[in-house]
Chains A and B, each alone.
Chain A
Amino acid sequence: MQVYGTELASRLLLGTALYPSPTDMAEAVRASGTEVVTVSLRRETAHGEDGIQAGQQFWGLVQSLGVRVLPNTAGCHSVKEAVTTAQMAREVFDTPWIKLEVIGDSDTLQPDVFGLVEAARILAADGFQVFPYTTEDLVVAGKLLDAGCEVLMPWGAPIGSGRGLNNPYGLRSLRAHFPNVPLVIDAGIGLPSHAAAAMELGYDAVLLNTAVAKAARPAAMAAAMARAVEAGRLAFEAGPMEARDMASPSTPLLGMAAFS
Chain B
Amino acid sequence: MNIIVNGKPCTIRSATLADALVELGYGDARVATARGGDFIPAAARAACQLQEGDVLEILMPMRGG
Contact = CB atoms under 8 A, between A and B. Distances in A.
A40 B33 contact: no
B65 A74 contact: yes
A87 B34 CA distance: 10
Interface in B19-39: 25-27, 29-34, 37-39
B63 A43 contact: no
Contacts of A244: none
A185 to B, nearest CB: 14
A91 interface: yes
A85 B42 CA distance: 14
Interface residues of A, number: 38
B62 A42 contact: yes
A174 interface: no
A59 interface: yes
Contacts of B32: 41, 87-89, 91-92
B46 interface: no
Contacts of A62: 61
A62 to B, nearest CB: 7
Nearest to A78: B37
Interface string A26-46: 000000000000111111100
Given A71-B64, A74-B64, A88-B34, 5 more contacts: A18-B65, A43-B60, A89-B32, A92-B30, A209-B65
Interface of B: 6-7, 25-27, 29-34, 37-39, 41-42, 57-65
